[in-house]
């Protein structure tokens, strides 16, 4: 397995346009996360899936953001009517649930999708 992959790596768009990012997690991982990161800040939690179910969503996430994981494999994050404040790195991560003393519950991150809204 080659790890978590994200596409596109970079996206430049004009304000008001819709954008969609795709994430392909590590195949045996049932947990998938989306984070947003701006310069000088740590990753900010956006949403989480276990298999195809979206189990948690940040209260900070506006209605313009929607995420799906239709078959419990890849996931998409769509931002509608983009604003300049949406400019950030969007990170996807996958993991197995932490179980047992040997488990670290670590997140495996992709390289991110950098969004610039003009």
Chain position carrying tokens 């701006």: 38
Q: Is the peptide bond before 94 cis (omega within 30 degrees of 0)?
A: no
Nearer to another protein, 14 or 100 (CB): 100
Q: How far is the CB of 109 from another protein (least distance, A)?
A: 3
Q: How far is the CB of 90 from another protein (least distance, A)?
A: 11
Q: How far is the CB of 17 from another protein (least distance, A)?
A: 24
Closest by CA to 89, choosing from 11, 3, 1, 4, is 11
Going from the C-alpha of 98 to that of each of 26, 106, 107, the distances in angstroms are 16, 8, 10
Residues at the interface with another protein (CB under 8 A): 4, 31, 33, 35, 40-45, 48, 50, 55-56, 91, 93, 97-98, 104-112, 114
Nearer to another protein, 31 or 69 (CB): 31
């Amino acid at each position: 397995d080659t790890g978590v992959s994200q596409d596109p790596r970079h996206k430049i768009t004009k304000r008001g346009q819709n954008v969609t990012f795709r994430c392909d997690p590590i195949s045996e991982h049932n947990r998938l996360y989306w984070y947003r990161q701006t310069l000088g800040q740590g990753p900010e939690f956006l949403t989480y899936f276990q298999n195809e179910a979206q189990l948690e969503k940040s209260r900070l996430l506006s209605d313009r953001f929607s995420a799906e994981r239709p078959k419990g494999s890849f996931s998409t994050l769509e931002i509608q009517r983009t604003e300049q404040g949406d400019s950030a790195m969007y990170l996807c991560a996958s993991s197995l649930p932490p179980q047992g003393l040997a488990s670290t519950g670590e997140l495996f991150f992709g390289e991110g999708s950098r969004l610039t809204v003009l």
